[in-house]
Amino acid sequence: MTAIRGLAVVGAMLLLVGCASSSRQVQDNLDQTAGRPGVQSARSRPLLEAQGFAVTDFRIRRDEFYRVSVMGEVRNTGSTARAVELQATLRDKNGRVSAVGHFYPASYTNIQPNQTWPFAYSFGRQDDVTRAELRIVGAFRTMETVNVAYEAD
């Protein structure tokens, strides 16, 4: 329970970072519900925007075994269906990187325009994490796989 209470403090110290051309630090406190299961953010503006995607919710959670997960929602703000790659970085109290994870919220599926997609990524046990950062690494269009039989000559 202490870890969960401490997580609310961690949630208030989250730092969101986008691509270099569109990075911004969230100055205001993230909602006080950070890290509480089943509670959605009531945010009206995105936390992070880059490459035709917007992160509309971002939270960090530590369970009783010190396993840390990041979760949230990403929305396609572009005009075409595309996939997105996100990068989450965990840092300790001295700002040193503890762990980095790359993930694709919709796997390799295109997210339709104006569609919101949830994401979650688990880092496993992380004892000294005090801050999380999120970055939109890239957006790309996935191609439908065509089932074509190949016959050798």
User: Residue 30's pLDDT is what?
Assistant: 29
Is the model's pLDDT at 133 over the cut of 90?
yes
Is 145 part of any domain? Answer: no
50's torsion region: left (phi>0), alpha (psi -120 to 50) or beta?
A: beta
Contacts of 86 (CB under 8 A, 6+ apart): 55, 74, 102, 103, 104, 105, 119, 121, 134, 135, 136, 137
Q: pLDDT tens-digit profile of 54-97?
A: 999 999 999 999 999 999 999 999 999 999 999 999 999 999 99
Is the model's pLDDT at 4 over the cut of 90?
no
Is the model's pLDDT at 14 over the cut of 70?
no
Is 115 part of any domain? Answer: yes
Domain count, the chain: 1
- The CATH number assigned to the domain holding 132 equals 2.60.40.3230
